[in-house]
Amino acid sequence: MNKKLFYKIYDYTLSNEAAAKAAVLLSRFSKFIYIFIYGLGFLMLLLRSDIFSIPKYILVPFTVLVVNTVLRKFIGKPRPFEAEDIESLVPHEANGSLPSNHAASSLIIALSWVLVYPPAAAVFVLLAFCTGFSRIMTGVHYPLDVLCGWIVAAVGGLVGFLL
């Protein structure tokens, strides 16, 4: 099912030039987008002197990314462009695929905005889902990789932000 869904999404991307361009653009620049979003949230908390939210804002995403990275190294699943006879639409190292770091980091940064401005969190969550989907479209992750990254972030966010 995972491979079948991957190929439906990836093949669609290859057949649709606009979808391919959008996926490549989002996949390439998502790291910078989320660094900006995260930095902006931190700055807003500082300006509000919200000393109770700042530690959570820093520690929860950090912990989620550490957990995600450890899981990824432990599992060691190859990326689609390594395991299948396909070409990635974006340059990428041949390292672990499951769970997706982009999916986990984008979602946990989006969820951290619940501490800053909840309506923005909803918009950023939507962007996080688009980011994860773009990773499948470009051939660097299977759907299960992205889903697991989202699950790690969602569980970490629920536990971390509700404590």
117-143 per-position pLDDT tens digit: 999 999 999 999 999 999 999 999 999
Write out pLDDT tens, residues 86-125: 888 888 887 888 999 999 999 999 999 999 999 999 999 9
Mean pLDDT on 46-67: 94
How much is the pLDDT for 34?
Answer: 95
Q: How far apart are CA 98 and CA 92, in angstroms?
A: 15
**Cβ(103)–Cβ(146) below 8 Å:** yes
How much is the pLDDT for 123?
Answer: 95
Mean pLDDT on 31-46: 95
Q: How far apart are CA 20 and CA 36, in angstroms?
A: 24
The sign of the torsion formed by the CA atoms of 44, 46, 49, 53 equals positive
pTM here? Answer: 0.91
Q: Residue 29 corresponds to which tokens in the numbers above?
A: 């620049």
How much is the pLDDT for 56?
Answer: 94
How much is the pLDDT for 162?
Answer: 84
The most distant pair of C-alpha atoms in the chain lies apart, rounded to whole Å, by 53
pLDDT at 39 over 80: yes
pLDDT at 163 over 80: no
**Cβ(139)–Cβ(89) below 8 Å:** yes
How much is the pLDDT for 130?
Answer: 96
How much is the pLDDT for 10?
Answer: 94
Q: Which long-range contacts (CB under 8 A, 24 or more apart) does 145-148 make?
A: 145/77, 145/97, 145/98, 145/99, 145/100, 145/103, 146/99, 146/100, 146/103, 147/103, 148/71, 148/98, 148/99, 148/100, 148/103
Q: Residue 76 corresponds to which tokens in the numbers above?
A: 């060691």
Helix axes 101-112, 143-162, angle to 10 degrees: 30
